[in-house]
Structures are given as C-alpha cells and as structure tokens.
Amino acid sequence: MSDDKSVAAFAAPPVCDLQPYVPGKPLDELEREYGVTNAVKLASNENPLGPSARVLAAVTEAAAGLNRYPDGNGYYLKQKLASVHGVSQSAITLGNGSNDVLVLLAEAFLTAGSSAVYSQYAFVVYPLAVQATGAEAIVVPANPDSHEQPLGHDLDAMLAAIRDDTRLVFIANPNNPTGTWVEHAALYAFLRAVPADIVVVLDEAYCEYSGEGARTVSWLEEFPNLVITRTFSKIYGLAGLRVGYGLSSPAVADLLNRIRQPFNVNQLALVAAKAALDDAEHLDAATELNNSGMHQLQEGLATLPVKVLPSKGNFLLLDLRKPAADVNEKLMREGVIVRPVGNYGLPNHLRVSIGTAEENAAFLAALKRCL
C-alpha cells in the first residue's frame, strides 16, 4: 500500500506551506456544537436581507435548465455589466466570486522570482494567492493606531516598496477586515506614480456601501495596468452562489480568460447576478439597512470598553484591548457568531458584520455580558 505522505512530498513547496482559508462558522454548526437555538451570525459580512424577490424568481425559473451547462462566456451578464459600467464586454472577466479573479491575476502575472505588494492587514486571499505561485510577498506595514485610518493602507510606503521584480500590487478599498479606506485623490496619485508595467488590483468588494465605486471605473482608460474586482456576494446578497467579476483593459481580460476555468460561474449565478443588477430598490434597501445598523452598533459600542475602527463597509473591527479569543468563545456560547481575526495578526480584535436591528441588538447585549 502506498504512503500518501510520500506522495504529498512531491507537491510544489509553496503549496505545502500554505495554511487553508478558514471560513466563518456556520449557524447550524454552532447550534449543534453549543446546544443553542436562534443563533445570530455576524461573521462573514453577508447582506442580512438576502437576495431580492426579483432574483429569487429568476433563479426559480432558471432551475428547470440545470441539465444544461451554463454559458461559459456569460454573455448576458457581461452585456448587463458592460451597460452598467460603460465598458466593453471584452474588458470583463467573470469569476466564481471575486476571489476567483484575484487568484487568476496571481496565476497570470506572478512566478517564482517576481514579487507582489500588499498592506499588512489586507484581505487574507492576497497572501494565499501570491504564495501559491512561488512569488515573494512584500508586506507593507499598515498605518499606526494613531492614524485617522488606523491599520489601513499606507500608499506612500506601498509605492516605496515596489521593486524591479514587482508585478502586482493589491489594494482593497474599503479594506477587509479593517473597514478603512483610501480617498480617491490619494488613490489616483498612487496610480499615476506606479510604473505602467505593474498591475494594480483595486479590490472593491464593498464599494457599493461606500457609494464611491463609479469614479474608479472611469480610470480604466487612463490606466491600462488597473484591474478592478467586484462581487455579488456582499450588498447583492448572493454569497451562496459565488459570482464576481473583474474590469480591466481588454488585453488583461484576454489573459485572465485564457486561464479561467470553463464554466467557472454556474447557470443560477449568471441569472441571479443579472437580475440583481436590475433591482435598484433592493440595493437602496440594503444600503439604508447598513447605514442604520452601522449607527446602531457604533452607538452601542461607544458605551463599552472597546475601540471601534472607522469603516465604509458592512462591518466593524473592534479592538478589545486584550486577547479576543476568550470573548469570542463566550459570544459563541451566547449564540452569537462574529469573526476573530488572529490570522491577520490581530489577536485583540473581532470583526462584526452589520445585521438586522434585532441581530445587532442581540450582539450588543451578548458582548456587554461577555466583557
């Protein structure tokens, strides 16, 4: 009988050293493990409203055709995205969530002997994608706690960190898990300063919450090295269907589509995303709920011994000023799931998604008891 460990020894060294991504704990797992009921999940930055009625109707109708492969090119979704953003369909890359597009970018532009730049507390997928290629990660120290955007991106330091072998720069705006953001004037100046042969990836998974996404798309014509990634997992409420996209120059999109897996976006996701783009009312409702929930949480947290970072996303990062693992465990026993971020190097912090008014109130009450 063969030894599976000896087979694993032949895997690519960068892959062997990877630590798998750990998702937020599901509700049913928490209730089963801790014996609680009516648990609240505020761990994964999901839209508590879920998908709109229009999306559900479109998905129900499309379900009858699940015996057929989806359109591998995603023609109708690309057509809708092109109309919404004022770009050509040749500038669009569809992904199994925007994570898929981030990985495609790493695969397309990084090799051993090259490097990628990202901020210290940036989205965890960046180091995973970079390391898997064998490229070197240049991790730039984030803003200090005293900064107006604590733990956020220091663009001057990121620019200074770029080397001759750098091929990618990742910027999340707003950033997950900190919630911090970069003003457009500073971001534009950064793009003008970056050498034209280095791809700048602007990850805008939460841009709909900030209301400032339209301006960056207009920069694509000026900066052929700019790639913007977006997702339907957050404000559109389609996290379970996994669909996102990238906007770029047609030349970059052509490269990404060469390595993109066939049928990487399923039929229901294609239909749901197109329907979601047609439902402005649902987007407005989700934005309004997020704004009121943000105010509710900030007001409640102001009475507790925690530091709350500024955020333009649908979540808040809390500095408990002490190790957060014990508080996180107590919250789970109270039936509340939030996100510990020790894997980001932030062992004193918890990230909490903004939920409904009832979910937010349950979290605040539970956190008060746990602290």
pLDDT tens column, 157-175: 999 999 999 999 999 999 9
Q: How far is CA 145 from CA 150, 211, 347, in A?
A: 5, 26, 15
Query: In 3-state terms, the chain is what percent helix, strand and coil (to 5)?
Result: 45, 15, 40
What pLDDT is stored for residue 14 in this prediction? 78
- CATH numbers and ranges of domains, the chain: 8-50+281-370 (3.90.1150.10), 53-277 (3.40.640.10)
Helix, coil or strand: residue 87: coil
- CA nearest to 124, candidates 367, 341, 355, 358: 341
Report field, pTM of the whole predicted structure over 0.75: yes
**Mode of pairing for the β-strands spanning 315-319 and 349-353:** antiparallel
- Are 270 and 243 a contacting pair, CB within 8 Å? yes
Taking each helix axis as running N to C, give the angle between helix 357-370 and helix 280-301, from 0 to 180 degrees, rounded to the nearest 10. 20
Q: How far is CA 290 from CA 229, 236, 282, in A?
A: 22, 12, 12
What pLDDT is stored for residue 7 in this prediction? 74
Q: For 334-344, what is the mean pLDDT? A: 94
The pair of three-digit structure tokens given for residue 360, joined into one six-digit string: 């937010």
What pLDDT is stored for residue 193 in this prediction? 98
Which residue did the predictor score with more confidence, 13 or 195? 195
195-245 residue pLDDT tens: 999 999 999 999 999 876 678 999 999 999 999 999 999 999 999 999 999
